[in-house]
Structure 1
Amino acid sequence: MSTQQDSPTPTTTTKKTKTPFLSILTEPIEWLSMLSHHLNPSFIAGIFLIYGIGQGFTGSLFKLVSDYYWKDIQKIQPSTVQLYVGIYFIPWILKPIWGILTDAFPILGYQRRPYFVIAGVIGMVSASIVALGGNIAAAAALMCFVGVSASLAIADVTIDACIARNSIEVPGLAPDLQSLCGFCSSSGALLGFLVSGFFVHHLGPQGSLGLMAVFPALTIVLGFVIYDKKTTGLHNEKKEGAMESIGMTIRSMYKTIKYPQAWKPSLYMLLSLSLNVTTHEGHFYWYTDAKAGPAFSQEFVGVIYAIGAVASILGVIIYHKYLKSYTFRNLVFYAQLLYATSGVLDLIFVLRWNLKIGIPDYIFVVIEETTVRITGKLRWMPMMVLSTKLCPIGIEGTFFALLMCIDSIGVLLSKWGGGLLLRFLHVTRSDFSKLWLAVLIRDILRFVTLVLVFLVPNVGPYEGLLPSDVCEMNKSDVNVDEETLELVPMNGNIEV
C-alpha cells in the first residue's frame, strides 16, 4: 500500500509493454484492481449496483416503459407527460434532506446501511403497486412513479456521500471515481435500453414496470452486506443530539456556499441546466407517429436509446483518457459549444431535411443520438468532478446532495420549461407542425449558455478550490474517527 504523501498528485500508472489488443483487455481490469486496492471493495460494488443497475439499467427501463405507459395506457398528451416527468423528479430535488438524514441520523448505530434498506423497500412497494394494480388512476400511477424515483434518489445520495468522501481524501482518484460512475451508469443504460423495447412489446408497459422491483430488492441486500462501521456513544456525546448536529451541518453549508469558489459554479449548473429545455416527450411521440414521424417500432426506439448509451460510454472514455486533466472552464466551454452545435441535428431530423439529402431515418437518428450523447457526457463529467471538489470534509454527504439538488432543480425547470413550450406551441399527440420551432428555441438557449461559462473556475481537477480554513473548520466540527464505509488510505499518489 502506498505511503502518505505531503501533497496530492494525479493518478499515475507504470508503463508496461503490451500489445494494443492485450492492453484493451487488461487496462480496465488493472484500473478496477487499483480502485479496489485503495478503496474498500464493498464501496466499489455499491457504485456498480447504484449507478449500474439502479441509475443505468432501472433508470433506462423506467424512461422508455413510462413513456409508453403514459402514451398507450393512460393516453396523456406529450406536454402533460413532460410536466408529470418533472413531478416524479422532485425526490431528486430533496436530496439535501436525504443527505442530512444520512449524515446526522444514524439508525441502530449505522449511518449508511439503513438508508439503502429504506430506499429498497420504498422502490419495491411502489413498483409492485403500479405493475399489479390493474387499471389504476393516473394520479395513483404518478405517485407510484414518485416512489420509484425516491428510491433511486435516496440510494444515490447514500453512495454519493461515500464518493465525495473518497474524492476528498484521495483527490488523485476524484476523476477516476466519476469515470467509474459514468461508465457504470452508461453500461447499465445500454443493457436497459436494449431489452426495454422487447419487454414493452411482449409484456406491455404495465407488465414491464414489474421488472423495476428487482433493483430495490438488490439495494436491500446491499444494505446488509456493505461495510458500515457502527458508531459509538462517544459520537452522540460529541454531537450533543441530532438537532445540534443538523444545526452545525446547516451552518457549515451556509459558510461554504458563501465563497465565490462554491456559489459561482453552483449558479452555472443551475442556469445551464435550466436553459437546456427538453422536448423529449414531443420527440418520443413524433418518433412513433405513423403519419408525421418516422414510425419507429417499440424495439427500435429501445435500440436508439441503447445507441445513446454506447455513445455515453464513449464520452466517458474520451474524458477519462484525454480530457480529465484540463481546466474546468476550458473543458466546459468547448463541451457546451459542441453540445449546442450537435443539437442542430435534431432540427434537421424533425424538418426531414435528412431525406432531402438522401440519409434514411434509421441512419440519421443513429448519427444524431451518438453525437448528442457524446457531447452531453463531455459536458457533464467535469461538472461532477468539480462538485466533488467543492465538498468540505465532515458535511460531504449533505453538501454534495445540496449541489445535486441544485442540479436537479435545473433539470426540473428544463423539463417543465420544455412541457410549457410544447403546450404553448400546441404540440399534441397528433399535431407536430410546430415541433421544429420548439427544437429551434431549445438550440438557441443552448448557445446562450456559453456566455455563463465565466462562472466556472479556471483551475484543474487536481488543484484545491475551497480555502483551507473551510476544510479545517469542518474537520474540527466532526468526529473524524467515525468512518461509515471503509474508505481509503490517506494518500494522493496512486500507482499501479
Structure 2
Amino acid sequence: MYDYCVSLVISFSTNKLGFTPEFLGRVKLVTSIASLLGVGLYNGFLKNVPLRKIFLGTTITGTALGLTQVILVTGLNRKFGISDEWFAIGDSLIITVLGQASFMPVLVLAARLCPEGMEATLFATLMSISNGGSVLGGLFGAGLTQVLGITKDSFDNLALLIIICNLSSLLPLPLLHLLPVDIPKDERPKQDIEVELKSS
C-alpha cells in the first residue's frame, strides 16, 4: 500500500503544490542515486548484522520516516522554513536508501539458500511474489482511497491515508521469527569452489 500512497502524494504534489515534471524528474534522479547508496550502506555496514535486526530496524525506521509525508501534505514543513521542494527531495532520498538497504538481505538470503541449477526459477518466484504484493497493496490502497473520498481535486483525508499505509508496513513484524537468525554461509569446501571457478 505504501507505493500507492507515494503515487497519491505525487498527484497531490503536482495538483496542489505545483511541482513541475522537470522537478519530479530531478526527484527520480535523486532516488536512483539513493538506491546505489542503499546498496553501499548494506555492503559497508549491514552485511554482518543479523537478518532479524536489519528487517526490524529498517521497517520501524522506514515507517517513521514515511509518516513525514504527512508534514508535506499538511504544509507543516513551511512553518519550519523548509520549502516543499527540498523537503520532498530529502524525504525521497532517505526513504529510498532505507528501502534498498532492507531489500538487499532478501536477495543475499535467496542466493545463499537457492539450490544449484534453480537460480532463475527462484529469482522469478521472488520477483513474482514482490510484484504480486505490490498489486495487492495497490488494490487495498485504491479501496481505502475511495472509502476516504480522496480524488484528484479533494485531498482532505490524504494525511489519514498516509498514516494507515505506513502503519500497515508494520504488519509483517510478527513473522520475523520465521527468518533464520543470520544469513547462512556457503558451506561448500574451498577446494570445490576453486574447481568450479577454474572450470568456468
TM-score range, shorter chain: 0.7 to 0.9
Aligned 1:18-417 pairs, distance under 5 A:
276=2, 278-289=4-15, 293-417=16-140
After superposition, what is the alpha-carbon deviation per residue over 1:299-335, rounded to whole angstroms, capped at 9, x for unaligned? 0011112111121111111111221122222212112
**Matches of 1:434 and 1:401, distance apart in 2:** 37
Shift of 1:373: 0.6
Whether the aligned pair in 1 keeps the contact of 2:110 and 2:122 (CA below 8 Å) is no
**Matches of 1:400 and 1:413, distance apart in 2:** 20
Residue 428 of structure 1: SS of its match in structure 2? Answer: coil
In structure 2, relative to structure 1, the CA distance for the partners of 1:359 and 1:405 (3 Å cut) is same
Whether the aligned pair in 2 keeps the contact of 1:324 and 1:461 (CA below 8 Å) is no
Q: Which has the larger radius of gyration?
A: 1
Unpaired runs of 5+ residues, structure 1, are 1-274, 469-487, 492-496
Whether the aligned pair in 2 keeps the contact of 1:278 and 1:414 (CA below 8 Å) is yes
Unpaired runs of 5+ residues, structure 2, are 189-193
Highest relative contact order (Cα 8 Å, sep 6+), 1 or 2? Answer: 2
**Matches of 1:489 and 1:413, distance apart in 2:** 45
* Correspondent of 1:458 among 165, 181, 185: 181
Question: TM-score, structure 1 length as denominator?
Answer: 0.37
In structure 2, relative to structure 1, the CA distance for the partners of 1:461 and 1:377 (3 Å cut) is farther
**Matches of 1:390 and 1:446, distance apart in 2:** 25
Report what 2:196 is aligned to. Answer: 490
Residue 146 of structure 2: SS of its match in structure 1? Answer: helix
Code of the aligned partner of 1:299: E
* Identical positions, percent: 28
Report what 1:175 is aligned to. Answer: none
After superposition, what is the alpha-carbon deviation per residue over 1:11-47, rounded to whole angstroms, capped at 9, x for unaligned? xxxxxxxxxxxxxxxxxxxxxxxxxxxxxxxxxxxxx
Shift of 1:447: 2.8
**Matches of 1:434 and 1:424, distance apart in 2:** 10
Residue 443 of structure 1: SS of its match in structure 2? Answer: helix
Shift of 1:276: 4.6
After superposition, what is the alpha-carbon deviation per residue over 1:411-450, rounded to whole angstroms, capped at 9, x for unaligned? 2111222222222212111111111111010121123333
Give the root-mean-square deviation of aligned CA atoms. Answer: 2.1
* Correspondent of 1:429 among 147, 152, 176: 152
**Matches of 1:352 and 1:280, distance apart in 2:** 17
Whether the aligned pair in 1 keeps the contact of 2:112 and 2:183 (CA below 8 Å) is no
Whether the aligned pair in 1 keeps the contact of 2:150 and 2:158 (CA below 8 Å) is yes
Report what 2:191 is aligned to. Answer: none
Report what 1:245 is aligned to. Answer: none
Code of the aligned partner of 1:287: S
Shift of 1:489: 5.7
Code of the aligned partner of 1:333: L
Report what 1:441 is aligned to. Answer: 164
Residue 176 of structure 2: SS of its match in structure 1? Answer: helix
Shift of 1:395: 2.6
**Matches of 1:415 and 1:463, distance apart in 2:** 37
Shift of 1:456: 1.7
Whether the aligned pair in 1 keeps the contact of 2:109 and 2:183 (CA below 8 Å) is no
